[in-house]
Structure 1
Amino acid sequence: MEGKLLIFSAPSGAGKTTIVKHLLEKFPQLEFSISACSRKPRDGEIHGKDYYFLTVEEFKEKIERGEFVEWEEVYPGSYYGTLWSELKRIWDKGHHVMFDVDVKGGLNLKKKFPKNSLAVFVKPPSIDELRKRLLKRGTETEETINVRIGKAQEELSFAPQFDYILTNNQVESAFVEAETVVRKFLFE
């Protein structure tokens, strides 16, 4: 049985992960879809909890075997995707799937599941604010921040293709707005 899919996408640093974590606490019928990626774990990240960490070779093998619902080479040599086994795991429990994915991945999921998904684009208040948020993380070099900002500018052009655009000016008000949108999608 297929449940519903909530798809949250945004440029890096827009706050989507914070909003998704909040929604997962608020709605027990939602379960996080753990993405697969080909990057190394960051400090504190756990395989099978935060991501399924794969080598590039493992990722490509799974692509060839058709194990991905969707996948994307987000940056050269850096793959992210959603495994079919992950959707099955969540739906078998009778839960709905919560995605925290990049913009192209979000649109790919929306196309695959047009009837039972809601795609939300989390938009930063501005590119300047996005740069400040990325700097504040302290995990990026100036070069990687510039790459992410360039990518964010491109990703913002896809926002109109999403079902809902949520501008994250202030996190508490973004939480309230996200809760309202999710409640309506799940229960009305």
Structure 2
Amino acid sequence: MTQQPLRRGLLLILSSPSGAGKSTMARRLMDWDPTLRFSVSATTRRPRPGEAHGVHYWFHDHDSFRGLVDTGGMLEHAEVFGNLYGSPRAPVEEAMAAGRDTLFDVDWQGGQQIRNSALGKDAVSVFILPPSIAELDRRLRSRGQDSEEVIAGRMAKSRDEISHWAEYDYVLVNDEVEATFDRLRAIVTAERLKRDRQPGLSDFVRSLNREFETR
């Protein structure tokens, strides 16, 4: 039997305002497909107790991080509270070459940078919306983790984040977790099967034609 061609890995970008369900969808995707690689971020902040280099973060000093940015080694980066954070390019390229997909849990700015990067043609972006602003507020409060001030800040930021919904390939309204995940899984499955994600497909079809000639 002729061997099926290896497909090229894709970059799956998930974004949403805080509380809309991005992290929940990311965890479910990882449980659904253990071959899916989660993008480990790089940072200039110091490791916290129990954190390991290359597992929780790639830890860099400021100069080495900037060096990676200047040489195209980061797909996206940003400064948060005085520390730099970003997505290293090399591990993503290795995963792509092996036919593995990489999952990015990033905000709209990170997603925009990834789509505009050298690997952007292989990016698939999904934005997750809440069913209503009232429900978004309820979800943030139900966590029981944040003060009123923090919740107010997250709600204020969500308006700007939601305004970027039209920049994404797909938009899902997370009205019910199971149904939303089913739709997300369908997106990933369809994107994996696209013709242009299978670089060996032309050779595979030629091999089929050769089989005709030998019958």
Q: Work out whether the TM-score is over 0.5.
A: yes
Matched residues, percent identical? 37
Greater mean deviation of Cα atoms: 171-180 or 107-116: 107-116
Indicate if the aligned counterparts of 2:125 and 2:169 stay in contact, CA closer than 8 A.
yes
| Structure 1 position 166 matched with structure 2 position 172 | yes
Query: With structure 1 as the length reference, what TM-score do the two structures score?
Result: 0.81
Which residue of structure 1 lines up, in the alignment, with residue 135 of structure 2? 129
Indicate if the aligned counterparts of 1:56 and 1:77 stay in contact, CA closer than 8 A.
no
Q: How does 1:59-74 map to 2 (within 5 A)?
A: 62-63=68-69, 66-73=72-79
Which of 148, 154, 159 is matched with 1:142 structurally?
A: 148
What is the rounded CA distance, in whole Å, between the counterparts of 1:10 and 1:163 in structure 2?
Answer: 13
The Cα of 1:25 is off from its aligned counterpart by: 2.2
Larger strand percent: 1
Distance change >3 Å, CA 170–CA 57, structure 1 → 2: farther
Greater mean deviation of Cα atoms: 103-112 or 135-144: 135-144
Q: 5+ unaligned residues in a row in structure 2: which ranges? A: 1-6, 195-215
Query: With structure 2 as the length reference, what TM-score do the two structures score?
Result: 0.72
Q: 5+ unaligned residues in a row in structure 1: which ranges? A: none
What is the rounded CA distance, in whole Å, between the counterparts of 2:34 and 2:75 in structure 1?
Answer: 24
Which residue of structure 2 lines up, in the alignment, with residue 21 of structure 1? 27
Which residue of structure 2 lines up, in the alignment, with residue 104 of structure 1? 109
The Cα of 1:2 is off from its aligned counterpart by: 6.2
Greater mean deviation of Cα atoms: 94-103 or 173-182: 94-103
Root-mean-square deviation (CA, aligned residues, Å) is 2.9
Which of 112, 119, 127 is matched with 2:125 structurally?
A: 119
Distance change >3 Å, CA 57–CA 171, structure 1 → 2: farther
State the number of aligned residues: 187
The Cα of 1:127 is off from its aligned counterpart by: 2.2
What is the rounded CA distance, in whole Å, between the counterparts of 1:136 and 1:159 in structure 2?
Answer: 25
Secondary structure of the corresponding residue to residue 116 of structure 2: helix
One-letter code of the match for 1:13? G
One-letter code of the match for 2:106? V
Radius of gyration: which is bigger? Answer: 2
Indicate if the aligned counterparts of 1:70 and 1:81 stay in contact, CA closer than 8 A.
yes
Which residue of structure 1 lines up, in the alignment, with residue 198 of structure 2? none
One-letter code of the match for 2:170? Y
